[in-house]
């Protein structure tokens, strides 16, 4: 036999990465992450958190921030080792191959693609109730859960998303500079808000209600972490990771921006929540003293109407302090435009890098890796992300209608941080790690379990939506990726994907857990409006494992290996959803609560721990990570560095 050479699977993506412009400084990376953290979350979440958990809600911000910080620490090491644009969708592919990478990449694509729309919707919902002239933007301009009115509100939302797009079109350098300018405002306003409330309108008695700090139960303090927009607010730390391929000094600056942005966010958000709780004037909001649980209920009181749509604006109005009423309150209305706008433009850029990463890994067609010669941005992916964001601006959506599922789906993809930390220690031990996390044996599982409990606390009705969307993308694997790479026969892939898609849609509709009017209150929490859960769940599991088995049966040797390496992921997803149905965060009527809090959370952690070590054992040296390690460095040389370029492109393997 004669020896032939072929490019390593990992070499193609190096070529497109070299065309990116390395222009972002440490401060710009930090402000991109912090700018995404300080967005629409602080405008809405404080009231919802208090209405669900009472004055203990500030604890939710601390716990949520610590959990996200654990995740960020794991990614901090990986990002110094292999800094890449679209990093979070690329790391699973490097550690576990195509099937695991596709499932997680698909989830992250949907999650990032929707956030720009969420920020635009937040702007419309915040300014809509402020004056009669803007009421027509919303269906019911008195609550933060109002949906966008069609066509006026929807067209304005689309206009905002288009503005996000045009900021990104001018390149990473322009985005970084423009965002730094906006961040001056975005930091001053929330900081001034809690300082002024503490100074002029703070009532410490609000923290001593008769029912105690956690008046609705301690499990609610944890439930609101994913559901009230708390974790959603912290998720912006990932911007430094996903813009990593465009950083000047990624190995020094990405860990700094990733970790410091979360720490600053914890301080600001915790103080804002304490300030809001202490600033409540009960009679102005039209609820009894210490009536936290009634804050989210409808009321005719003018103050309550303001509070449900613009919580801190209402606190300023209720204070009676002239400066707060006449100046600061209206600055908060202006911030209802500036903060979501600043975050939305960043997230649209992140969504573009995410789809670029999907193209680099081969999940999306090659044009998705196209980089503009003038601005050096992945322009096709950015355009696709813009169109996806438009889809999520559909008038049926409100801010809270999207935040829960987007939070769960995003955090679900973060389970790979702790896993990747340990897998890459095994498969790429010699790559330089300027930031090396000590005691990886401890931080790896902690990062994984942090993501696990956030997803579990989201509750069954959110988690089942996650599962529906997550596995909806499986046919793309058998239709496009697997046949293109030679992992599966093309005809068998088409048939397998079509059969699964038909079965999946029928199951989602028949079960009435996802595709049904019964998803709305009060039906969503009452099992009598749905198919028997155990039967429905069994059919869901059979469908997913059946699709996976067919991909294995019709797969090549390499394709079967990818399936084997992903079984932990499918088992983890289905096991956590099953547990969530019978736990404290499941549906609320007509089912036995077999597990109460915190026993249910302990079980979720135990399942997670088993799957974590299974996942670490399933990680292997993929062709792509081998190509990177053989190049001698995880860095990508920018275009024009001829020596580094030639060395990277010369990486080959010999096949006999």
Which CATH number goes with the domain that contains 74?
1.20.1740.10
When comparing pLDDT for 41 and 415, which is higher? 415
Quick one: tokens of 484? 């293109």
Task: Give the pLDDT of residue 308.
Answer: 61
Instruction: Judge whether 305 and 129 are in contact, CB under 8 Å.
Output: yes
What is the average per-residue pLDDT within 45-59?
A: 89
Confidence of residue 220 (pLDDT cuts 50, 70, 90): confident
Whether residue 642 has pLDDT greater than 50: no
Q: Taking phi first (over 0 means left), then psi (-120 to 50 degrees means alpha), and beta for anything else, what does residue 639 get?
A: beta
Closest to 228 measured CA to CA, from 412, 344, 393, 399: 399
Helix-helix angle 98-127:379-392, to 10 degrees? 60
Confidence of residue 194 (pLDDT cuts 50, 70, 90): very high
Does residue 607 lie in a domain region?
yes
Whether residue 646 has pLDDT greater than 50: no
What is the average per-residue pLDDT within 203-225?
A: 83
Highest mean pLDDT among 342-351, 397-406, 516-525, 639-648: 342-351
pLDDT digits (tens, 9 = 90+) for 248-259: 899 899 999 999
Sign of CA dihedral 210, 212, 216, 217: negative
- Mean residue pLDDT of the chain comes to 84
What is the average per-residue pLDDT within 619-625?
A: 93
Whether residue 241 has pLDDT greater than 50: yes
Task: Give the pLDDT of residue 505.
Answer: 93
Number of structural domains in the chain = 1
Task: Give the pLDDT of residue 284.
Answer: 80
What is the average per-residue pLDDT within 237-250?
A: 88
Task: Give the pLDDT of residue 649.
Answer: 39
When comparing pLDDT for 294 and 573, which is higher? 573
The DSSP symbol for 206 reads G
Does residue 77 lie in a domain region?
yes
Whether residue 288 has pLDDT greater than 80: yes
Q: Which residue has the tokens 């599922």?
A: 405
Closest to 468 measured CA to CA, from 510, 515, 500: 515
Task: Give the pLDDT of residue 406.
Answer: 80
When comparing pLDDT for 188 and 9, which is higher? 188
Quick one: tokens of 29? 């990376």
Does residue 319 lie in a domain region?
yes
The Cα angle at residue 576 between residues 571 and 577, in degrees rounded to 5: 105
Task: Give the pLDDT of residue 137.
Answer: 67
Q: Which residue has the tokens 């030639």?
A: 646
Phi, psi angle pair for 540, to nearest 5°: -60, -45
Task: Give the pLDDT of residue 93.
Answer: 94
Task: Give the pLDDT of residue 399.
Answer: 59
What proportion of the chain, given as a percentage, has pLDDT over 90?
42
Q: Is the pTM of this model over 0.75?
A: yes
Does residue 118 lie in a domain region?
yes
Enclosing domain of residue 226? 22-627
Confidence of residue 128 (pLDDT cuts 50, 70, 90): low
Whether residue 447 has pLDDT greater than 80: yes
Task: Give the pLDDT of residue 9.
Answer: 44
When comparing pLDDT for 428 and 526, which is higher? 428
Q: Kindly report which listed range (9-18, 51-60, 227-236, 324-333) carries the lowest average pLDDT score.
A: 9-18
Does residue 1 lie in a domain region?
no
What is the average per-residue pLDDT within 61-89?
A: 92
Whether residue 88 has pLDDT greater than 60: yes
When comparing pLDDT for 496 and 114, which is higher? 496
Whether residue 225 has pLDDT greater than 70: yes
Task: Give the pLDDT of residue 593.
Answer: 67
pLDDT digits (tens, 9 = 90+) for 392-423: 887 666 656 667 778 788 888 889 999 999 99
Does residue 651 lie in a domain region?
no
Q: How far apart are CA 61 and CA 44, in angstroms?
A: 14
Confidence of residue 606 (pLDDT cuts 50, 70, 90): very high
Task: Give the pLDDT of residue 409.
Answer: 84
Instruction: Judge whether 484 and 362 are in contact, CB under 8 Å.
Output: yes
Highest mean pLDDT among 8-12, 110-114, 124-128, 496-500: 496-500
When comparing pLDDT for 270 and 325, which is higher? 270
Instruction: Judge whether 125 and 290 are in contact, CB under 8 Å.
Output: no
Whether residue 4 has pLDDT greater than 50: no
Does residue 635 lie in a domain region?
no
In angstroms, the Cα distances linking 444 to 77, 96, 495, 496, 630 are 11, 16, 39, 36, 25
**Partner residues linked to 589 by β-bridges:** 526
Task: Give the pLDDT of residue 480.
Answer: 96
Task: Give the pLDDT of residue 297.
Answer: 66
Does residue 640 lie in a domain region?
no
What is the average per-residue pLDDT within 269-294?
A: 88
Whether residue 652 has pLDDT greater than 50: no
pLDDT digits (tens, 9 = 90+) for 518-540: 445 454 555 567 788 899 999 99
Whether residue 3 has pLDDT greater than 60: no
Confidence of residue 424 (pLDDT cuts 50, 70, 90): very high
Task: Give the pLDDT of residue 517.
Answer: 53
């Amino acid at each position: 036999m004669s020896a032939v050479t072929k490019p390593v699977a990992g070499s193609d993506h190096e070529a497109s990465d070299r065309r990116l412009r390395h222009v972002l400084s440490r401060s710009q990376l930090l402000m991109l992450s912090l700018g995404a953290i300080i967005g629409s979350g602080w405008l809405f979440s404080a009231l919802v958190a208090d209405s669900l958990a009472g004055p203990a809600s500030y604890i939710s911000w601390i716990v949520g921030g610590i959990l996200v910080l654990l995740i960020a620490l794991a990614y901090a090491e990986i990002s110094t080792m292999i800094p890449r644009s679209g990093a979070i969708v690329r790391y699973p592919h490097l550690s576990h191959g195509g099937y695991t990478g596709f499932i997680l990449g698909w989830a992250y694509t949907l999650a990032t693609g929707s956030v720009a729309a969420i920020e635009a919707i937040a702007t419309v919902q915040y300014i809509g109730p402020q004056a009669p002239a803007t009421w027509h933007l919303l269906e019911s301009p008195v609550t933060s859960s109002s949906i966008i009115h069609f066509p006026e509100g929807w067209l304005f939302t689309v206009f905002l998303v288009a503005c996000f797009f045009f900021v990104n079109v001018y390149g990473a350098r322009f985005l970084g500079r423009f965002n730094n300018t906006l961040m001056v405002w975005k930091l001053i306003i929330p900081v001034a808000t809690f300082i002024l409330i503490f100074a002029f309108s703070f009532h410490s008695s609000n923290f001593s209600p008769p029912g105690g700090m956690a008046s609705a139960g301690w499990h609610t303090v944890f439930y609101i972490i994913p559901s009230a927009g708390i974790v959603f607010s912290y998720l912006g730390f990932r911007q430094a990771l996903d813009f990593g391929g465009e950083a000047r000094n990624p190995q020094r600056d990405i860990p700094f921006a990733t970790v410091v942005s979360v720490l600053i966010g914890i301080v600001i958000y915790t103080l804002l929540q304490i300030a809001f709780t202490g600033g409540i004037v009960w009679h102005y909001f039209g609820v009894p003293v210490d009536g936290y649980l009634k804050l989210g209920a409808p009321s005719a009181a003018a103050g309550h109407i303001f509070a449900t749509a613009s919580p801190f604006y209402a606190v300023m109005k209720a204070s009676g302090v002239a400066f707060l009423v006449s100046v600061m309150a209206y600055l908060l209305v202006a911030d209802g435009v500036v903060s979501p706008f600043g975050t939305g433009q960043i997230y649209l850029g992140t969504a573009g890098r995410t789809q670029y990463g999907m193209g680099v890994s081969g999940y999306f067609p090659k044009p998705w890796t196209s980089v503009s010669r003038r601005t050096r941005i992945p322009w096709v992916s950015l355009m696709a992300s813009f169109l996806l964001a438009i889809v999520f601006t559909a008038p049926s959506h409100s801010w809270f209608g999207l935040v829960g599922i987007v939070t769960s789906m995003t955090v679900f993809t973060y389970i790979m941080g702790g896993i990747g930390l340990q897998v890459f220690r095994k498969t790429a031990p010699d790559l330089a790690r300027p930031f090396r996390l000590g005691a990886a044996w401890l931080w790896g599982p902690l990062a994984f379990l942090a993501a696990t409990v956030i997803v579990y606390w989201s509750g069954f009705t959110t988690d089942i939506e996650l599962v529906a969307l997550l596995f909806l993308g499986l046919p793309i694997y058998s239709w496009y990726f697997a046949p293109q790479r030679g992992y599966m026969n093309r005809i068998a892939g088409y048939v397998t994907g079509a059969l699964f898609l038909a079965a999946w849609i029928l199951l989602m509709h028949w079960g009435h857990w996802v595709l049904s009017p019964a998803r709305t209150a009060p039906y969503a929490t009452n099992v009598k409006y749905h198919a028997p859960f155990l039967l429905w769940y069994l059919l869901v599991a059979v469908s997913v494992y059946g699709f996976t088995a067919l991909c294995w049966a019709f797969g090549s040797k390499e394709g079967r290996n990818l399936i084997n390496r992903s079984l932990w992921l499918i088992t983890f997803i289905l096991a956590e959803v099953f547990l969530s149905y019978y736990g404290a965060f499941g549906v609320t009527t007509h089912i036995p609560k077999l597990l109460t809090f915190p026993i249910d959370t302990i079980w979720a952690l135990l399942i997670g721990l088993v799957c974590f070590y299974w996942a670490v054992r399933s990680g292997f040296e993929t062709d792509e990570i081998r190509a990177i390690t053989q190049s001698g460095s995880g860095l990508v040389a920018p275009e024009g560095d001829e020596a580094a370029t030639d060395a990277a492109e010369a990486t080959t393997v010999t096949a006999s």
